[in-house]
Amino acid sequence: MKTTFFFIISSFFTSTNTHATPMYSDEVPRFEKIVLSKNVLAECDAEKSDERGPFGVTYKDGTITHTFIVMTGVYYDTCKSLEKKINSLKRKESKIIIIGTEKNPQKDSQEIIWRWRAVKSLSGKECISYFENDCF
């Protein structure tokens, strides 16, 4: 019994650091990984004349590109603010945590698209997200 329990606990902690899609109690595949800040790109593609535009975070992991997007159009000011906050966090932290859900691998591509949840500092003191509840 102790061996089984130890194996379950150790595999859980191992999976959160080494695998991109650990399963949680709600059975939703998630990406939650500590990554080098220099491998992360936050981008707001909205123009000042646009009311809304796309916002995304890209993480390159070898040959695989993980693209995290907000599933709605983001108001220009919010879009630019998210980009600025993430870039600021990247300058302060050498490693950050990226969280995403709803994995969508692209056919014949090395890209996986995720619904972006949050970018956090390792300490958890800073968390940046489009939706407030994604930082809990």
Q: What is the pTM of this model?
A: 0.76
Q: Domain 2-135 is of which CATH architecture?
A: Beta Barrel (2.40)
Do residues 80 and 100 make contact, with C-beta atoms less than 8 angstroms apart?
no
Q: Give the helix/strand (H/E) hosting 84.
A: helix 76-92
CA distance 5 to 20: 23
- Per-residue pLDDT of 64-83, as tens digits, reads 999 999 988 899 999 999 99
- Per-residue pLDDT of 100-122, as tens digits, reads 999 999 998 999 999 999 999 99
